[in-house]
Amino acid sequence: MKRRDFIIKSINAGIFTGAALSFGGYGKIFANTVNSSLPYDLVAVRDGEPDLMLDKALKAMGGIKNFVTKGQTVVVKPNIGWDVPPERAADTNPLLVKRIITHCFTAGAKEVYVFDNTCDKWSSCYKNSGIEKAAKDAGAKVVPANSESYFQNVDIPRGKNLKNAKVHELILSSDVFINVPILKNHGSARITVTMKNLMGIVWDRRYWHRNNLNQCIADFATYRKPDLNIVDAYQVMTKNGPRGTSTADLVKMKYLIVSDDMVAADAAAAKVFGIEPQDAEYIPMANQLGVGQIDLTKLNINRIRV
């Protein structure tokens, strides 16, 4: 398997300078040695368009058929929480969503479903994010999550604060779950990435905010591990998240992170954002609960520059 390592320059760790975000410490995290004879724990791609970066990442992971096989039903869960256009980057990039769905059907998926329990009016979020059209154009079924009737109660035995939750029925019935968050600033959790994106598959999110949001995020991550996490870090909202106020909140970083480990993916995304993984409290909490690996130096990481 061929790969091209890339070097990422660190500039003035952890600060914002005008419209640009400085990437403190990111080079160190992604400078660990790769053993190309082993499966990769995480693939990080940079400097391409979302669809091309996905193609490169999946190829490095051994292809989509390592995750989706013929006749399976797949749930692709982007962030569609906000009624804003794609250029505001509050929601997952629709081009990336479309490409994921295309890969799933190429692998022989029987059905692909897309949904999110949105924050703004669901029909407007679906339409104005561009995700509904992109998903339907690729052949997916875009389904609602705006009624409690779509959700079923599940127990979370390993949770500390969160002992149960109502989860969307498609998460319970589908064969494959692909989690597709967009990396951005979040006022309560510092950043939102893979584990935070799971709030869109549950009904009552207000309970989480009332009962230690970070612990509830970590608790719920013990319930079900997505088969694949694909982090959209093409346009990153560096302030005023999670909805944002304008394109002035954004920095075009042109990154994509892919892993089946939510903790590792969120730790890497934190580094892209310019903070340490420990600075987003739910990441070390989930690590302590055994959800995944926070220490990226222990992982086999493939870095690809398009």
How many whole angstroms separate alpha carbon 11 and alpha carbon 15?
A: 9
For residue 155, pLDDT over 60 is answered with yes
CA distance 209 to 160: 15
Helix (H, G, I), strand (E, B) or coil at 87: helix
Can you tell me the distance from the alpha carbon of 111 to that of 248, in angstroms, rounded to the nearest whole number?
A: 38
Q: Which residues contact 66 (CB under 8 A, 6 or more apart)?
A: none
For residue 190, what pLDDT is reported?
Answer: 97
Would you call 271 helix, strand, or coil by DSSP? Answer: helix
pLDDT digits (tens, 9 = 90+) for 53-100: 999 999 999 999 999 999 999 999 999 999 999 999 999 999 999 999
Furthest C-alpha separation in the chain:
50
| Model pLDDT for residues 72-81, shown as the tens digit of each residue | 999 999 999 9
Condensed to tens digits (0 to 9), the pLDDT of residues 103-113 reads 999 999 999 99
The answer to whether the peptide bond before residue 242 is cis (omega within 30 degrees of 0) is yes
What is the arithmetic mean of pLDDT over 30-51? 79
Work out the pLDDT band at 26, boundaries 50, 70, 90.
very low
Q: What is the sign of the dihedral through the CA atoms of 30, 36, 42 and 47?
A: positive
- What are the E-state strand segments in 181-285? 182-186, 190-192, 228-237, 250-259
Residue 3, pLDDT > 50, answer no
Report the DSSP pairing between strands 20-21 and 151-155: unpaired
Q: Look at residue 231 and tell me whether its pLDDT is greater than 90.
A: yes
Q: How confident is the model at residue 129 (pLDDT cuts 50, 70, 90)?
A: very high
pLDDT for 34: 57
Q: In angstroms, rounded to a whole number, what is the distance separating the alpha carbons of residues 238 and 252? A: 10
Long-range CB contact pairs, 102-106, < 8 A, 24+: 102/138, 102/139, 103/54, 103/58, 103/64, 103/68, 104/64, 104/68, 104/74, 104/76, 104/176, 104/178, 105/138, 105/139, 106/64
In angstroms, rounded to a whole number, what is the distance separating the alpha carbons of residues 53 and 234?
10
Helices (H), strands (E): how many in the chain? 11, 14
Q: Domain extents for the chain?
A: 64-294
CATH fold label, 64-294: Rossmann fold (3.40.50)
Closest CA to 208 of 143, 159, 241, 266: 159
* pLDDT recorded at residue 35: 60
Mean pLDDT of the chain: 90
247-269 pLDDT, tens digit each: 999 999 999 999 999 999 999 99
Q: pLDDT, tens digit, for every residue of 135-153?
A: 999 999 999 999 999 999 9
Plot region of 181 (φ>0 → left; ψ -120 to 50 → alpha; else → beta): beta
pLDDT at 37: 56
User: What is residue 27's predicted lDDT score, i.e. its pLDDT?
Assistant: 43
